Amino acid sequence: MKNITVILPLHKLDDDYKVMLDNALTSVEQFHDDVKLSIVCPSNLKKELENISEKLEIEIIVNDGQTDFCSQINLGIDKCDTEWFSILEVDDEYKTIWLKSINDYIKIYKDVDVFLPIVKDINPEGKFTSFTNESAWAYGFTEMQGFIDNEVLLDFQNYQISGGLYRTKVIKENGSLKENIKLTFGYEFFLRLTHNGVRVMTVPKVGYQHVNMRDDSLFWEYKNNDSNKLTEPEVKFWLETAKKEFFFKNKRDVKYEIV
Amino acid sequence: MSNQENIEKLESALGRINDAESVVYFLTYDTKTNARASVKYIYDLALTLNKNGRKSKILVEDKNYVGVSSWLNEEYSELEVVSIKEDKIELKIDDTLVVPEYYANTMQQLATIRCIKVLLVQQKEYLFETLPIGSRYSEYGFDKVITTTEKAKQYILEYFPESLVYVIPPIIGDNFKPIELPLKPYVAISCRDRAVHRKLISEFYLKFPQLRWITFRDMVQMSYDEFASNLKECMVSLWVDDESTFGTFPLESMKCNVPVIGKIPDTEPDWLSENGMWTYDGNKLVELLGTYILAWIDGVELSQEVLDKMKNTLEPYDTLKTKDNILSIFTSIVNKRVESIESALTKLKQEETV
């Protein structure tokens, strides 16, 4: 019985994406006994994705509405019927120890609802740039080493939602990602979870590899694309917005306005 | 003193030995609430004897002695503490006095005391510190020595071949055992020299900035139980102690299945083998540590072979074996005294009948 769904959002499938997707799927295939895959994508990609892996149990969830990252993930969560789910970005991959290391902790920490791996960030050339999620283990950083708390999050935003393992029921109760919050939707999500008493733990093993600033990625757009580029005041605005909005389970209208 | 009085004195000494009334005194220094493996060693010897019917007492300089209750568990409180100044202990010929090398300066004063005298050597480097040049401990009646390693024994026999040297390794407590929880990204660090301790941590964070979130646990100022519970959740131990004779910390780590990265001390421990990541070059420690941690967070686990080697290393230091060893050594020491008393008695009695 598979009790984990990996949700992979996809909005297009050009040649570059095919290479990335193949790599991402290979990383999931190593857990095919325990994990099923939900690819959330526009209907025009469905046919091409149907037989994409022989090993994996795959569900294609068609989304012809908003195909931004958050909306796709939310749809995946909504359709998820397993105890746990994880989020995989198309250009990322799970490391071999992802499942084993998280399982080691699930067995012991039964009251934890979110397990984050240490994420190894690499640049588009494949070179190591940094770790993410690891700071939860720094001495004196959080109230309890290894766990992320709301107070710390108010000062420190750098946590990665992809690659984490989430208890589906708990996330459904607490609300999913708010797509109307640009840039800081992940931050708001963690603030909301910790504010509501959800225990979030970092497993001190590198379980996930994330490509930072890949050309045409959402965050690359925010930083480099003239039409989507966020200015300093905008970044600040979205951080402040996340801090105001995490009290609310569902998204509310957010009007961008620099005072 | 007449022959008859001597005979009575010797017979009463034999009687006290038979009735287990003779006392083993362990001269002990005050660590002022600081945990010290060397003092725990002394308390372990005393407690093992006491629990097995050989009356043992801790002998201290004066009543200002703070004791070990803050860092050793309650079990040790059964040992009576007596002071030289206030309690005015009278050592009889059937009593035993164990003097650690720390108090070697007192041996000259103890020369005339007729009890069984045993020198306890945990740090052979300190052996000559207070001994007048060219002198021997046996000149003061200390011809029996207890030490912790075979290498230390060889060393002692090289310079004091007249000594009878016994080896009793420290007891690695049973509270050192692997935890069932996954290990945490902590490094248990134990360095004799605080400057080295600081240097290693600084170098590590500078050389591996991506690992600044790794915690170094300073394994000092803890009770013995706290020490064990802190140690067993660490992913690795880092040990630098050039002067170490035995090396308790690495063995405690191994007993918890915590691998050790360490600099080989000036005197190689008896147990040193491929049971850890060892180097003679202290400058390589940080590189070794960083490499190990990066592998650990990537999920590399210790091979069964290494785990087996760690386990095998501990076999000779099994608590029960060590306790049996303590008992048999002290029995042998006392038996030698019994023999000499009996032989003196025979002589005296023969003289009486002549």
List pLDDT tens digits, range A74-95.
Answer: 999 999 999 999 999 999 999 9
pLDDT, tens digit (0-9, with 9 covering 90-100), for A27-60:
999 999 999 999 999 999 999 998 899 999 999 9
Residue A116: beta bridge partners? A202
Which among B110, B101, B100 has a CA at the least distance from the CA of B141? Answer: B110
Residue B108 scores a pLDDT above 90: no
To the nearest whole Å, the CA of A194 is away from the closest chain B CA by 21
How confident is the prediction for chain A on average, in pLDDT?
Answer: 91
Taking contacts as CB-CB distances below 8 angstroms, the residues of chain B near A117 are none
**Fold annotation for B184-316:** Rossmann fold (3.40.50)
User: Residue B1's pLDDT is what?
Assistant: 66
Provide, as residue numbers in chain A, all residues whose Cβ is less than 8 Å from the Cβ of B213. Answer: 131, 134-135, 137-138, 141
Domain B3-171+319-353 has CATH 3.50.50.60: no
**Chain A residues in contact with chain B using a Cβ-Cβ cutoff of 8 Å:** 95-97, 100-101, 104-105, 108, 118, 128, 130-131, 134-135, 137-139, 141, 145-146, 204-206
B182 neighbors A104 (Cβ within 8 angstroms): yes
pLDDT tens digits, B188-207: 999 999 999 999 999 999 99
- Give residue A99's pLDDT: 96
Whether B298 contacts chain A with CB within 8 A: yes
For B209, nearest residue in chain A (alpha carbons): A130
Token pair for residue A137? 């283990």
Of all residues in chain A, the one with the smallest CA distance to B298 is A206
Chain A partners within 8 Å of B185 (Cβ)? 137, 204
What is the distance between the alpha carbons of residues B46 and B24, in angstroms, rounded to a whole number?
Answer: 8
Choose the mutation target among A27, A30, A31, A97 for the interface with B, i.e. most B CBs under 10 Å.
A97
User: B298 in helix, strand or coil?
Assistant: coil
- Laid out side by side, the sheet with B277-279 consists of B215-218, B184-191, B234-240, B260-263, B277-279
Mean pLDDT for A160-164 is: 96
User: Which of helix, strand or coil describes residue B234?
Assistant: strand
A224-249: per-residue pLDDT in tens? 667 767 788 888 888 899 999 999 99
Task: Say yes or no to pLDDT of A214 above 70.
Answer: no
The CATH number assigned to the domain holding A120 equals 3.90.550.10
Retrieve residue A3's tokens. Answer: 């009790």
Confidence of residue A256 (pLDDT cuts 50, 70, 90): confident
* Longest CA–CA separation in chain A, Å: 54
DSSP code of B117? E
B305 reaches A (C-beta below 8 A): no
The reported pLDDT for the residue numbered B325 is 96
Which own/partner pairs from A125-132 qualify as long-range (CB within 8 Å, at least 24 positions apart)?
A: A128/B210, A129/A212, A130/B210, A131/A206, A131/B210, A131/B213, A132/A158, A132/A159, A132/A160, A132/A210
Closest by CA position to B96, among listed B130, B131, B45: B45
Q: Please tell me what DSSP assigns to residue B283.
A: G
Domain ranges of chain B: 3-171+319-353, 184-316
Please give the tally of structural domains in chain A.
Answer: 1
What are the tokens at A169?
């029921």
Which one of B182, B213, B298 has the shortest CB-CB distance to A137? B213
- What tens digit of pLDDT does each residue of A21-36 get? 999 999 999 999 999 9
A150 in a domain, yes or no?
Answer: yes
State the average pLDDT over residues B266-276: 92
In sequence order, the 6+-apart residues with CB closer than 8 A to the CB of B189 are B197, B200, B201, B216, B217, B218, B219, B237, B238, B239
Q: Would the CATH topology of B3-171+319-353 be identical to that of B184-316? A: yes
What pLDDT is attached to residue B350? 87
Of B180, B181, B184, the CB nearest to A204: B184
Tell me the pairing of strands A84-87 and A93-94: unpaired
The pLDDT score that the predictor gives to residue B33 is 86
CA–CA distance, B28 with B46 (Å, rounded to integer): 11
Residue A253 included in any domain: no
Interface check B133 vs A, CB under 8 A: no
pLDDT band at residue A222 using 50, 70 and 90 as cut-offs: low
Domain that residue A223 falls in: 4-245
Does some domain include residue A98?
A: yes
Phi, psi of A115 (to 5 degrees): -115, 120
Please tell me the predicted confidence (pLDDT) of residue A135: 95
Cross-chain Cβ contact B297/A205 below 8 Å: yes
Contact: B184, A137; criterion CB under 8 Å: yes
B304 contact A CB<8A: no
CA distance B136 to A5: 77
Answer whether 0.95 is exceeded by the pTM: no
Residue A179 counted as domain residue: yes
Q: Is the pLDDT of residue B328 over 70?
A: yes
Give the gap in angstroms from C-alpha B211 to the nearest C-alpha of chain A. Answer: 9
Place A217 in a pLDDT band, splitting at 50, 70 and 90.
Answer: low
Residues ≥6 apart with Cβ < 8 Å to B328: none
pLDDT in tens, A101-155: 999 999 999 999 999 999 999 988 889 999 999 999 999 999 899 999 999 999 9
CA quadruple B278, B282, B287, B289: dihedral, nearest 10: 50
Q: Say what the pLDDT of residue A139 is.
A: 93
Nearest to A101 among B181, B215, B299 (CB): B299
Mean pLDDT for chain B overall: 93
Chain-chain contact of A128 with B181 (C-beta, under 8 angstroms): no
| Chain B closest-CA separation from residue A52 CA (Å) | 29
Average pLDDT on B67-79 reads: 93
